[in-house]
Amino acid sequence: MIYLASQSPRRRQLLEQLGVGYELLLPGDDEDAEGMEAVLPGEAPLAYVKRVTHLKLQAALKRRKARGLKAAPVLCSDTTVALGRQILGKPADAKDATRMLSALSGQTHRVLTAVSLGTDKKQVQIVSISKVRFANMTPAQIKAYVASGEPMGKAGAYAVQGRAAAFIEHISGSYSGIMGLPVFETAQLLREFAYKF
């Protein structure tokens, strides 16, 4: 059994795909979970995703201890979309989602997902980097997609497993990593904690 410190239903689904038993270890109301996702000035996408995932793991380990829960590895993950050095996080509103999707239209971007797994004594991290190419999207297509509500709460304002798939021309890398938890890389980390696959 592991603890999953993520609210993402996609990450739960991908862990279940691996057959890994987990319990959710979500932040309390007293924690500033969104605050740790703030981008530092001049921060590169790779440095950003590694730093945020590390911070999430430290906060989750502290949370486990404070709640008096039994010892078990904690899994944290963070996904960011990068267009060049520009980090496209979760859109603030529909206008922001429209801006991001307009920038991604007809372009190839990177999706970086970092996974951290650890206990108080041992912590490991791995990063999956994939490339995604969007077809050219018309303003009407972008408007309709934003109106669906799907882009909200998603890095880069899209969900690869949702309606956005209709606009994705090419993927190079890890489909599950683009969803938010790279299955192959996660299995590698779990093996370091004696999980068998």
Residue 196 has pLDDT above 80, yes or no: yes
Domain residues of the chain, as ranges? 2-191
Q: Where are the alpha helices (DSSP H) in 105-174?
A: 139-147
Q: Which of 30, 78, 93, 120 is catalytic?
A: 78
93 is catalytic: no
What φ, ψ does residue 133 adopt, rounded to 5°? -110, 125
- Are 164 and 150 in contact by the 8 Å Cβ rule? The answer is yes
| Domain 2-191 indexed as CATH 3.90.1150.10 | no
Confidence band, pLDDT 50/70/90 cuts, at residue 128: very high
What φ, ψ does residue 80 adopt, rounded to 5°? -135, 150
Q: What pLDDT, in 10s, does the model give residues 62-85?
A: 999 999 999 999 999 999 999 999
Q: What pLDDT, in 10s, does the model give residues 22-62?
A: 999 999 888 887 788 899 999 999 999 999 999 999 999 99
Confidence band, pLDDT 50/70/90 cuts, at residue 129: very high
Give the single-character DSSP code of 189: H
**Dihedral angle at the C-alpha atoms of 113, 182, 129, 152, nearest 10 degrees?**
-50
